[in-house]
């Protein structure tokens, strides 16, 4: 099955049967979700604080169900998120709800059901693109919900956001011809995805 994060201690177990002793190595695969379940109170507080720090600076949070995803697939997805500068983690949903409580992403709480991975980023396009593109290749990963600050996203919104160029891609394409000061340019990059998705949401609400 799945194991989002392998830190697998190897133990040797001796089994004595009818005077014979057999030894076998077992590799223990512990998932983030299982690790969350076994956390003590202080460790849970630390997880909530860590995720909360990411939420404060986030421009998008996308969640997806990973039920049945293989170890190798999850490892590749984690690496892709890291390469894209996206905070990616499997969380116990009760801890995730605490992390978003009282924030611009609090409305996501009602969609935090089942085994979920959380894609959190200050670049909303990258946060959506990581899960959306991977989900097209692997049907075990299913996007469940998403949000930008104070704005819930539909599946169509997330797909549209994911097809845009990320901030990194825009920088690579436009930096050479930039005429405006760098501060104004970066502000423009930040505003483009937000205005785009809010426009989509406005059209959707009018239908």
Domain residue limits at 151: 31-206
In angstroms, rounded to a whole number, what is the distance separating the alpha carbons of residues 153 and 106? 13
Q: Is the residue at 102 inside a domain?
A: yes
Q: Is the residue at 17 inside a domain?
A: no
Q: Is the residue at 149 inside a domain?
A: yes
pTM: 0.68
Q: Is the residue at 9 inside a domain?
A: no
CATH number at residue 172: 3.30.70.1730
Could you tell me which of 61, 167, 53 has the C-alpha nearest to residue 107?
A: 61
pLDDT of residue 201: 59
Report helix angle 41-57 to 93-100, nearest 10: 50
3-state secondary structure (DSSP) of residue 64: strand
Give pLDDT tens digits for 140-164: 999 999 999 999 999 999 999 999 8
Q: Is the residue at 15 inside a domain?
A: no
pLDDT of residue 90: 95
What's the burial of 28, exposed, middle or buried (CB within 10 Å: 0-12/13-18/19+)? exposed
- Copy the structure tokens of residue 59: 């421009």
Q: Is the residue at 174 inside a domain?
A: yes
pLDDT of residue 184: 58
Q: How many CA atoms lie within 13 A of 135 on its CB side?
A: 22
Q: Is the residue at 4 inside a domain?
A: no
pLDDT of residue 172: 66
Q: How many CB atoms lie within 10 A of CB 68?
A: 14
Q: Is the residue at 36 inside a domain?
A: yes
Backbone CA torsion sign across 188, 194, 200, 202: negative
Number of domains in the chain: 1
Instruction: Show the low-confidence residues of the chain (pLDDT under 50).
Output: 1-30, 34
């Amino acid at each position: 099955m799945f194991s989002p994060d392998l830190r697998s201690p190897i133990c040797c177990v001796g089994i004595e049967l009818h005077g014979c002793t057999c030894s076998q190595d077992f590799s223990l695969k512990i998932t983030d979700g299982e690790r969350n379940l076994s956390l003590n109170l202080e460790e849970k507080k630390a997880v909530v604080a860590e995720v909360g720090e990411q939420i404060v600076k986030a421009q998008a949070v996308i969640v997806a169900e990973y039920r049945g995803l293989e170890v190798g697939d999850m490892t590749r997805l984690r690496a892709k998120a890291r390469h894209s500068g996206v905070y990616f983690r499997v969380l116990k949903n009760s801890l995730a709800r605490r992390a978003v409580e009282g924030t611009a992403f609090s409305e996501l709480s009602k969609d935090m059901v089942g085994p979920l991975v959380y894609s959190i980023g200050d670049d909303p396009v990258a946060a959506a693109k990581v899960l959306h593109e991977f989900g097209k290749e692997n049907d075990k990963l299913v996007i469940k919900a998403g949000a930008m600050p104070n704005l819930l996203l539909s599946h169509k919104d997330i797909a549209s956001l994911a097809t845009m160029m990320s901030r990194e891609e825009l920088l690579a394409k436009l930096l050479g011809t930039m005429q405006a000061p760098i501060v104004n340019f970066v502000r423009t990059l930040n505003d483009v995805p937000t205005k785009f998705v809010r426009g989509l949401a406005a059209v959707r609400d009018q239908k």
